[in-house]
Structure 1
């Protein structure tokens, strides 16, 4: 009789029967371990929550008064004889990979992650394991990120050009993760950063949690339009095309997302400029992260799961697709017309993966 796996994929979420807990469940459960506070991973209705302490105030802001326990990275919690610990995922502030161990068997659930140090999130740390449950939002070789310093140079030059041309600058990014990354990496050469209320509420929650952020000013009905237009305006995707944004006309509107790497994505979002900036790993980052775990098998939860699992199997991994409800966070919504799969498959690199400087790191 086959041994029952330590983690299972159920219609409620990823389940540990021995520990009697779920990881990022999307239906109400008694005991939930949460990788991060994005809406597709942190749902309302659970009796008990466990998350990293830097997610605390954002989870309370988003979910209300929940029964929440928080821990530090590397701290171990025992659940019915199963060891649970959290390690940095590098996705957003407070994001974590969940390491689960029982009788020497180790599984890691990545949640969402990126391997580039963004200067605000705790950098990704590979964790040795037997089984790795990974996202692959950008699991196609067309997705190759430039170093973020290049992207921010483009953003700063665009902002300077807008000032020279007498138009306001509106930069759009998701309120948790992208907005703080932008805020901490902008060259604040021309004064204030002004924020939409949703972003400012998120910033205030992070500040209550002890996170240090550059100063911002909330845009209110009393805000001077002339003064706001002299700075840079950070807005969430939900504000695009609304009267709130139109009141700053004339403006130039930029959109920050990994989907900006696709031809036509900027046009579909009606943006003047598209900046390729994602809080998810690109093609090379996914491969290096998976390789660095030393895992025997990998399970892909969301993204280009069919293409990416096929490629991983071709280069020697034991890869599987699984069905989950992850991947619907506002900023990284998949394009309505993804690139032709056949075209992108032609550029798949038939080489063995290399962990690079990730190789050998992490814990078992």
Structure 2
């Protein structure tokens, strides 16, 4: 018996006709299932939202306290018009989920964004068995291979300690939702105080509200005493780089934490002293391993290196193809820098 596809892509997003719901729609719809709270996946204007409970406070912060939002735990099942829907850990950021849909003997999983490396700020990625897997490919080329985060954070803390001894404050820029909290969670509070740019502070407080455990931090304001700033670690979004806001940090050493620091020239272009290769997305090996563990035969590639990655999957025997979506993956981080102070106080 021939089934219509359980999910299809139309001009609003990833659509499930049987349940009449969308996954991470980019235009306003009636019912939106949200994988995680990043702006390219969780947009304003939907009539109803379903998300993981650890996304609640941050989604209300970004989209408005009054959005019509229902939340679920990982593994909890919701049935809409016969379609069984459940959320499973994606390991991307706090509250991020892969969404599993089952109907008429078909199982589809939409990954949203994911990473396979364990990280203190989120429930570890769990492979979900399915017939069709919709995957991202933000870093879907063999040149992307991440070092263990423990090594990266050991380097970052050593650099902060040495800056402090030399009388500098240390500014590390990372996306204000996800990357920033990972930096905070792994910073060594014995070295000195951890201060947050307003945009990072607001998101961090929302995530604490949803249960995220982090070392103590303070919001950096115009009243923060100079002697507290000197030698401190300051966490800010990339958009704060080279803006007047940075004056109060002088003398300062600067760094950017991003998967894109892997590319030669990216660090130099962004005029920072250090680049730490740290991504909230799976690297080449992580993507391949995750896809293998789903057991899926059909793979749809939504964003990143879609053409190259889907060709590679075809060569490995998968029924793979790229689909056009409006998700940006970690490119959002680069745009945030280039557009200047989009998230400044």
TM-score strictly above 0.5? yes
What is the match of residue 279 of structure 1?
Answer: 280
| Structure 2: distance between partners of 1:235 and 1:293 | 36
1:318 is displaced (CA, Å) by 1.4
Q: CA deviation at 1:15?
A: 0.1
Deviation at 1:155, TM superposition (A): 0.4
Partners of 1:230 and 1:159 in 2: CA distance: 8
SS at match of 1:207: helix
Q: Does 1:153 align with 2:154?
A: yes
Q: Distance in 2 between matches of 1:202 and 1:54?
A: 12
Matched residue count: 336
Match of 1:4 in 2: 4
What is residue 343 of structure 1 aligned with on the other side?
Answer: none
Partner of 2:57: 57
Task: Please report how far the alpha carbon of residue 165 of structure 1 lies from its aligned counterpart in structure 2 after TM superposition.
Answer: 2.1
Distance in 1 of aligned mates of 2:125 and 2:335: 23
CA deviations over 1:120-161 (Å, ceiling 9, x no partner): 211000000000000000001110000000100110111122
In the alignment, which residue of structure 1 is the partner of 2:189? 188
Once residues 35 and 17 of structure 2 are traced to their aligned partners in structure 1, the CA distance between those partners, rounded to angstroms, is 19
Q: Aligned to 2:70, what secondary structure does the other structure show?
A: strand
Distance 1:150 1:32 in 2: 38
The answer on 1:317 being equivalent to 2:318 is yes
**Superposed, which structure 2 residues align to 1:94-109 within 5 Å?**
94-109=95-110
Aligned to 2:341: none
Aligned to 2:342: none
Work out the CA distance in 2 between the residues paired with 1:335 and 1:132: 32
The answer to whether 1:176 aligns with 2:171 is no
SS in 1 for 2:230: helix
CA distance in 1, matches of 2:267, 2:209: 35
Inter-partner Cα distance in structure 2 for 1:150 and 1:3:
48
Q: 1:258 touches 1:332 (CA, 8 Å); kept in 2?
A: no
TM-score using structure 1 length: 0.90
Q: 1:88, 1:332 → 2: CA distance?
A: 26
Hey, what does 2:309 align to over in structure 1? 308
CA RMSD of aligned residues (A): 1.5
Equivalence map 1:1-364=2 (5 Å)? 3-64=3-64, 65-327=66-328, 330-331=332-333, 333=335
Question: What CA distance in whole angstroms lies between the structure 2 residues aligned with 1:148 and 1:139?
Answer: 19
Give the Cα separation in 1 of the matches to 2:173 and 2:233: 11
C-alpha distance in structure 2 between counterparts of 1:319 and 1:333, whole Å: 29
Distance 1:95 1:261 in 2: 24
Distance 1:23 1:294 in 2: 22
Which secondary structure does the structure 1 equivalent of 2:264 belong to?
coil
**Stretch moving more, 110-119 or 151-160:** 151-160
Q: Which runs of 5+ in 1 are unaligned?
A: 337-364
Match of 1:341 in 2: none
1:237 Cα deviation after fit: 0.9
- Cα contact 2:303–2:327 (8 A) shared by 1: yes
Measure how far apart 1:104 and its partner are. 1.6
SS in 1 for 2:177: coil
- Extract structure 1 runs of 4+ deviating beyond 3 A: 332-336
